[in-house]
Amino acid sequence: MGALRVFLIAGEPSGDRLGAALMAGLRALHADVVFSGVGGALMQAQGLQSLFPMEELSVMGIAEVLPKYRQLKRRIAQTAEAALAAGPSVMISIDSPDFCLRVAKRVKAQRPDLPTVHYVAPSVWAWRPKRAGKMARVIDHVLALLPFEPPLMRAAGMSCDFVGHPVVAEALATPEERALMAGEAPLILALPGSRRGEVTRLAPVIAEVLAQIKVVYPAARVALPTVRGVADLVTDLSRDWPIVPQIIQDPALKRAAFAAADVAIAASGTVSLELAANGCPMVIAYDMHPLTLWLMRRAALIDTVTLVNLVSETRVVPEFIGANCRADLIAPAVLALLQGAGDQQAAMALTMQRLGQGGLAPGLRAAQSVLDFLKI
Q: Does 367 lie in the same domain as 349?
A: no
Q: Does 370 lie in the same domain as 226?
A: no
Q: Does a structural domain hold residue 170?
A: no
Q: Does a structural domain hold residue 39?
A: yes
| HSE-CB of 346 using CA atoms within 13 angstroms | 6
Please name the residue ranges forming H helices in the chain.
13-29, 41-45, 62-65, 69-86, 97-110, 131-135, 150-155, 175-179, 196-216, 228-238, 251-260, 271-277, 290-299, 307-312, 327-338, 345-354, 362-374
- CATH number of the domain where residue 246 is located: 3.40.50.2000
Task: List Cα–Cα distances, 234 to 3, 207, 342, in angstroms.
Answer: 44, 12, 30
Q: Does 153 lie in the same domain as 240?
A: no
Look at the chain and report how many structural domains it folds into.
2
CA distance 249 to 254: 7
Can you give the pLDDT at residue 357? 94
Q: Does 9 lie in the same domain as 64?
A: yes
CA distance 5 to 229: 31
Can you give the pLDDT at residue 64? 59
Nearest to 350 by CA among 245, 279, 263, 286: 279
Q: Does a structural domain hold residue 325?
A: yes
Q: Does 221 lie in the same domain as 105?
A: no
Can you give the pLDDT at residue 167? 93
Nearest to 376 by CA among 74, 14, 32: 32
Q: What is the largest CA-CA distance in the chain?
A: 66
Q: Does a structural domain hold residue 169?
A: no
Task: List Cα–Cα distances, 79 to 9, 55, 126, 373, in angstroms.
Answer: 8, 14, 29, 24
> Residues 355, 168: contact at Cβ < 8 Å?
yes
Rounded to the nearest 5 degrees, what angle is found at the Cα of 215, between the Cα atoms of 213 and 328? 50
Q: Does 66 lie in the same domain as 102?
A: yes
Q: Does a structural domain hold residue 159?
A: yes
Q: Does 288 lie in the same domain as 195?
A: yes
Q: What is the pTM of this model?
A: 0.85
CA distance 196 to 174: 31
Can you give the pLDDT at residue 341? 67
Nearest to 11 by CA among 90, 86, 83, 92: 92
Q: Which residues of the chain have pLDDT under 50?
A: 60-62
Q: Does 157 lie in the same domain as 142?
A: yes
CA distance 148 to 202: 31
Q: Does 196 lie in the same domain as 137?
A: no
Nearest to 265 by CA among 374, 154, 186: 186
Can you give the pLDDT at residue 129? 83
Q: Does 262 lie in the same domain as 182?
A: yes
Q: Does 369 lie in the same domain as 330?
A: no
Q: Does a structural domain hold residue 57?
A: yes
The DSSP bridge pattern shows strands 263-266 and 33-38 to be unpaired
Can you give the pLDDT at residue 98? 86
Q: Does 9 lie in the same domain as 136?
A: yes
Q: Does a structural domain hold residue 213?
A: yes
Rounded to the nearest 5 degrees, what angle is found at the Cα of 24, between the Cα atoms of 372 and 138? 50
Backbone torsions φ then ψ of 192, nearest 5 degrees: -80, 5
Can you give the pLDDT at residue 343? 83
Host domain of residue 133 = 4-164+358-374
> Residues 220, 243: contact at Cβ < 8 Å?
yes
